[in-house]
Chains A and B, each alone.
Chain A
Amino acid sequence: MAERSFKKEVEALRLGDGDTFHGEGILAVAKALLQSGVSYVGGYQGAPVSHMMDVLEDARPILDELGVHYEGNASEAAAAAMLGASINYPMRGAVTWKSTVGTNVASDALSNLASAGVKGGALIILGEDYGDGASIIQERTHAFAMKSQMWLLDPRPNLPTIVHMVEKGFELSEVSSTPVMLELRIRACHVYGNFPTRDNVSPPISRKKLLSQQDFNHDRIALPPSTYLQERLKIDVRLPAAVKFIQENGLNETFSGDLSDLGIILQGGMYNSVIRSLQQLGLADAYGTSRLPLYVMNVTYPLVPDELTAFCAGKRAVLVVEEGQPDYLEQAIHAVLRRADLNTRLHGKDVLPMAGEYTGEVVLRGIAGFTESVGHATAAFDNAGRAIADLDTTKNRAREILGGSVPGRPPGFCVGCPERPVFSAMKLARKDLGEFHIASDIGCHTFSTLEPFNMGNTVLGYGLSLASSTAVGPNFDKRVVSVMGDGGFWHNGLTSGLAESVFNNNDGVLIVMDNGYTSATGAQHIPSSRAAERDGAHTHVSIEDTMRGFGVGWVRTVRTYSIEKMMDTLKEAMTTKEKGLKVIVAAGECMLAVQRRLRPLNRDKIARGERVVQPRFGVDDEVCTGDHSCIRLSGCPSLTIKPNPDPLRDDPVAYVDNNCVGCGVCGEVSHAAVLCPSFYKAEIVHNPGIADRLLSGVRRSVIGALQRLVAKPPASSPAE
């Protein structure tokens, strides 16, 4: 079970004919896969499709009933390679991952898959983490579709359309022997809606209906001369077949409108934003009835030239709403119109931004800009300008009063996170060691590049920190410290990092965060997961043993919360005469997982009257002088500030709020950094035994006596 359990939700996967599904978009996709009769599913977690992996994991019983195989793939490359099953055999398969990073990782297998072509429908569900709140580089998947000749679906973001496109996607894949990608933007993955369900289809080939004949066909091998044939097939056979299918099945949609000399061509994913903006300008209603004709591309690759020319014919101007850069669609449509010798004026990136996410506001401004450039067509057009002006006034006024932007809320390490103290230790070690280069990786620990640590010079990819240090190391007067999560280690770091370093006898330091999960994506399990709660197969591969198995001589496993030990170990690793890779396994289970396990346990224990000791930290606000150096060394969300209760002081003092889980870092930091004596650890003993009571009774009476001995009224006491 990952961070979020879908045990309840997955029951919706059993719905059949005539039922209605209510739930998240990504869960609807899972249901659509089963309705399409997939034989196998898999993928690699990452926002916004992590939930899909969690759902499939939690849905194992249902998958087993249908004989569907679920594979928790080691990486996106592995997931893409798994689709190879559909090359030789007519079985449908689907995998999912976070794009565009996952697609980058998978692209080797994808190229070969697309060239070989598929017999069974192969579908790739891409979670586009683009723009607002994205945690990755901003790039388009579109280029992959074009370069490898794979088809790209970008459905209108409502459940019925998404489900329909999943089902049609398999058919499209099969009629054109081509893998199909379906991209869902983050808000579409998390959208809650409903659609009418159909019965699940148990696949013709499955763990219940096994193959017995292997299928050899050299035309499907990535070797010349087959590759020349495959290249020609892509263009001469598969592409036309796809275009024909898209057209005949009306996968793209045209909506008419009375302002027929104008129109909008848009990616399916942009549809709802376009409608809302038109509605705001008085050009559409709540049901999508638009006064401007629309051509909605639920398939953004390949294009259907006939449909495009038919839509543009007789229009003086058309707006292309295409999110992302470069403007592949706009360029392609220009070419289509040119070939058809249509002189319809094309607007797009001239009124819409070339880069960045198309939020509601961006689309609104773009459409308003379009109405301006095409001149008066209806009274509504004249209002557009005013709508934008009002918007600007409000926003400017807000900034005025708020005094610029309000402080941001960047992501950070959770309360009690075991990774944070590693960077506290590193920050302290730097005082003695001096400046050194830090190669960062992808995972929660990437937050070390933000306040209060600001540590980490590069992020090159998942599991690539060590690989990214190999040219810096030999050219730097101190060893490079590479930080890698256990997730990244198993995903890629094992070979491109560890093996390469050992092979080249590189002299560097590697810190592996052994927290037991891919925590950043929602605590999915990995080979080194210890958690016994995992359903089904349970493996535990020790990271330290793996290091030694690869021939690393210098390996130390350190509990992350022991900051001083971590400091000393890091200093040793940086200064030891020993050559070769020095590895520190920073061990500490993800605190979210720990709490998820312990909270209910302790609650029950306390209820049952058993003895439970609950630790947490506090600050003496009369001892704290409000310099906040503890916060700059920790950054724990529960270590915050409060107004100074001292009538003679103004600066806020440090304060530990009720979210504290008593991980111990506050004490460790104040010791390791020699901060201040303000911190104390308080342990509440629930259901104390007789011994506890007696002891504390004696203690309190003795201490009380001492206090009465010198009884003077205290210098200060609470206001009330």
Chain B
Amino acid sequence: MSEARPICLLIGALGGEGGGVLADWITEAATGCDHPVQRTSVPGVAQRTGATTYYIEILPTTWSEVGDRQPVFALFPNPGTVDLVVATEALEAGRAMERGFVTPDRTTLITSTHRIYAIAEKIVPGDGRYDTDRIAAAAQELAKQPIMFDMRTFARAHGVSLNAVLLGMIAGSDVLPFDPEVFRAAIRSAGKAVDDNLNGFELGLEAVRNPPEAAPVPAKRRSAETSPLMAQALADLPEALHEIAAEALPRLTHYQNAAYAQRWIDRMRDLAGAESTVGLAPGTVSVPAGKQLAVWMSFEDIIRVADVKSRRTRRDQVMQEIGARPGQVVHVTEFLKPGIPEWADMLPPGLGRGLRGWGARRGRTGNIGLQIRSDAVSGYLTLFLLARLRWWRPRTLRFAEENADIDAWLGTLRVATARDADLALEIAELPRLRKGYGETRTRGVGKYARIMGDLVGPWLGASQPADAASRLKSLRLQAQSDSDDASFDLLLAGMIESAPSQSIRAAAE
């Protein structure tokens, strides 16, 4: 029996990513070398946006050597026989490994490390992203030759398409016994965007030999300015908090004023104090709490939204986001739909509560859909003037309510810090539930209030269970992960024990 065996290539792509063209190029290249080749695919067909795989087998002998024998090519990759797995996206590489197609004795794995998130990762209210490090780790262990970096960013940076870069890397990986020229010929004979694709091919070829620097993790937008209050923060707060202070102080100064930023320092000073009295390492609780506090104190009311959408840097951000060239004419339309609750938030507490109650009794929210052209003078002026209402904010119902909740939270946090640091850490994370706008926010705040009032309150009022922290965490994750509230209600009800219910809900509301 002849010893010859085909070279097996598996390409994992997503619909409309050019995986088919890539497969065509490879097939054409093999044909160009007079090698017997077979290609098949399970395309997304109707399965729009789903994962799509292409499978190619090439017999590394020429037809003349084959003679009148017919090579038999498989239509399925067999685990343990795949020489090259190409993935256009990280998760698809993970899928190939999960199915056993990447084996240490044989498989070269070429994959881009960028992510195109699956729907299951996107719909989670909190953070549902799959941990890509797992894929990298698996590739390092399971692949004979792992070739990984963010090829999409690389391709975009050079204005070429990803599949052309991948073809270059396939050529460079030496899994196929072809001269690079054969691939170039394949690109030419395909005849589409030839120059760009040749360019991409060369980049990929080079990238295998010396992979480009890993693309930096998307930068956090650090504050450009230093607050005059920083000096005081440095003096009053433990070092662990300085980095956060550097962000929080300018943020809150801009959000309201220096006095308001000062308030953050004072609040943090108390918490840090509570920490040190029980001999906790500085920052244990106050670091996560400090982040949450700064975010919470700069809550998203109409004024802030108007400010974000009217500030100087906005236009550049938009232009960058949509990939417009500087100087291009761009129209920007904002979609706002404030209703009775939002307007009530802006009124003095008495009036605001009245209006809110009236709206509730009428059973309507009175939302008015506004489409504001923020690139036009009138539209911009609307946002600009709303943003100027900063001075009025401290007089509003929303301001009063948020700060009352904040103080209640800080109070609870101090008690917990003295009692159970782990629990305190979890309480520090709870404000993450108070996110969103309109109904989303109402539901989040409702869950927050019930956790604080019906569970944490009684716990700290009497004695919390030994595993209080882990229980609270699971409850928060449930609240964050599940859009239907039933399972949250169930979990909460299960946790509420017959502890004396000296509820601090009043404070939380």
Q: Which residues of A contact B66 (CB under 8 A)?
A: 287
Q: Which residues of B contact A649 (CB under 8 A)?
A: 291, 295
Question: A685, B330: Cβ atoms under 8 Å?
Answer: yes
Q: Which residues of A contact B119 (CB under 8 A)?
A: 410, 412, 450-452, 635
Which residues in chain A, 281-318, are within 8 Å of chain B measured between CB atoms?
284-289, 291
Question: B73, A272: Cβ atoms under 8 Å?
Answer: yes
Q: Which residue of B lies closest to A156 (CB)?
A: B72
Closest chain A CB from B44 CB (angstroms): 7
Question: B80, A280: Cβ atoms under 8 Å?
Answer: yes
Question: Quick check: is A47 within 8 A (CB to CB) of the other chain?
Answer: yes
Q: Which residues of B contact A452 (CB under 8 A)?
A: 119, 123
Question: A48, B45: Cβ atoms under 8 Å?
Answer: yes
22 pairs from A and B in contact (CB 8 Å cutoff)? A395-B79, A395-B98, A401-B142, A402-B94, A409-B118, A410-B119, A411-B50, A520-B46, A623-B308, A629-B440, A645-B219, A648-B294, A651-B126, A680-B335, A685-B328, A685-B329, A702-B377, A706-B381, A715-B255, A718-B221, A719-B219, A720-B219
State in angstroms the CA–CA spacing of A520 and B43 once bound together: 13
Question: Quick check: is B332 within 8 A (CB to CB) of the other chain?
Answer: yes
**Which of B40, B43, B129 meets A652, CB within 8 Å?**
B129
Beyond A187-B75, A616-B322, whether A286 also contacts B100 by CB under 8 A is no
Question: A648, B244: Cβ atoms under 8 Å?
Answer: yes
Closest chain A CB from B426 CB (angstroms): 15
**Which of A289, A398, A650, A684 meets B322, CB within 8 Å?**
A684
Q: Which residues of A contact B99 (CB under 8 A)?
A: 395
Question: A409, B14: Cβ atoms under 8 Å?
Answer: yes
Q: Which residue of B lies closest to A286 (CB)?
A: B4
Question: B72, A407: Cβ atoms under 8 Å?
Answer: no
Q: Which residues of A contact B94 (CB under 8 A)?
A: 402, 406
**Which of A520, A639, A645 meets B221, CB within 8 Å?**
A645
Counting contact residues on chain B (CB < 8 A from A), the size range is 35 or more
Question: Quick check: is B339 within 8 A (CB to CB) of the other chain?
Answer: yes
Which residues in chain A, 666-696, are within 8 Å of chain B measured between CB atoms?
667, 670-671, 673-677, 679-686, 688, 692-693, 696
**Which of A650, A699, A717 meets B375, CB within 8 Å?**
A699
Question: Quick check: is A625 within 8 A (CB to CB) of the other chain?
Answer: yes
**Which of A402, A628, A674, A686 meets B123, CB within 8 Å?**
A628
Question: B127, A651: Cβ atoms under 8 Å?
Answer: yes
9 closest Cβ contacts across the A-B interface? A719-B219, A360-B76, A715-B254, A276-B74, A520-B46, A360-B78, A627-B436, A625-B435, A411-B47
Which residues in chain B, 186-212, are within 8 Å of chain A measured between CB atoms?
none
Question: Quick check: is B137 within 8 A (CB to CB) of the other chain?
Answer: yes
State in angstroms the CA–CA spacing of A413 and B183 once bound together: 35
State in angstroms the CA–CA spacing of A561 and B95 once bound together: 35
Question: A133, B98: Cβ atoms under 8 Å?
Answer: no
Question: B100, A391: Cβ atoms under 8 Å?
Answer: yes
Closest chain A CB from B321 CB (angstroms): 5
Which residues in chain B, 100-114, are within 8 Å of chain A measured between CB atoms?
100, 102-104
Beyond A280-B78, A677-B305, whether A715 also contacts B2 by CB under 8 A is no
Question: Quick check: is B491 within 8 A (CB to CB) of the other chain?
Answer: no
Question: A674, B439: Cβ atoms under 8 Å?
Answer: yes
Question: A650, B127: Cβ atoms under 8 Å?
Answer: yes
Question: Quick check: is B438 within 8 A (CB to CB) of the other chain?
Answer: yes
Question: B218, A629: Cβ atoms under 8 Å?
Answer: no
Q: Which residues of B contact A286 (CB under 8 A)?
A: 2, 4-6, 59, 71-72
Contact with B along A596-637 (1 / 0, CB 8 A): 000000000000000001001010101101111101100101
Query: How many A residues touch B, CB cutoff 8 Å?
Result: 134
Q: Which residues of B contact A191 (CB under 8 A)?
A: 38-40, 75
Question: Quick check: is B392 within 8 A (CB to CB) of the other chain?
Answer: no
Which residues of B approach A to under 8 Å, CB–CB? 1-6, 14, 27, 31, 38-51, 55, 59, 66, 69-81, 91-92, 94-95, 97-100, 102-104, 116-127, 129-131, 134-135, 137-138, 141-142, 217-225, 244, 247-248, 250-251, 253-255, 291, 294-295, 300, 305, 308-309, 311-314, 317-318, 321-324, 328-337, 339, 365, 367, 369, 371, 374-377, 380-381, 384, 388, 432, 435-440, 444, 483
Question: B367, A674: Cβ atoms under 8 Å?
Answer: yes
Q: Which residues of B contact A259 (CB under 8 A)?
A: none
Q: Which residues of A contact B223 (CB under 8 A)?
A: 647, 715-716
Q: Which residues of B contact A713 (CB under 8 A)?
A: 224-225
Q: Which residues of A contact B384 (CB under 8 A)?
A: 706
Question: A620, B367: Cβ atoms under 8 Å?
Answer: no
Question: Quick check: is A536 within 8 A (CB to CB) of the other chain?
Answer: no
Question: Quick check: is A522 within 8 A (CB to CB) of the other chain?
Answer: yes
Q: Which residues of A contact B375 (CB under 8 A)?
A: 696, 699, 703
Q: Which residue of A lies closest to B333 (CB)?
A: A681
State in angstroms the CA–CA spacing of A702 and B78 once bound together: 66
Q: Which residues of A contact B248 (CB under 8 A)?
A: 648
State in angstroms the CA–CA spacing of A625 and B301 once bound together: 12
**Which of A361, A399, A680 meets B332, CB within 8 Å?**
A680
Question: B79, A391: Cβ atoms under 8 Å?
Answer: yes
Question: B435, A641: Cβ atoms under 8 Å?
Answer: no
Q: Which residue of B lies closest to A279 (CB)?
A: B5
Question: B14, A651: Cβ atoms under 8 Å?
Answer: no
Question: A398, B142: Cβ atoms under 8 Å?
Answer: yes
Question: B436, A629: Cβ atoms under 8 Å?
Answer: yes
State in angstroms the CA–CA spacing of A287 and B6 once bound together: 10
Task: A185-B75, A652-B127 are known; give 20 further A-B pairs, CB within 8 A.
Answer: A187-B55, A273-B76, A276-B78, A287-B71, A409-B118, A414-B48, A616-B322, A620-B314, A625-B436, A628-B124, A639-B122, A649-B291, A667-B371, A681-B332, A681-B335, A682-B321, A682-B332, A685-B331, A696-B329, A718-B221
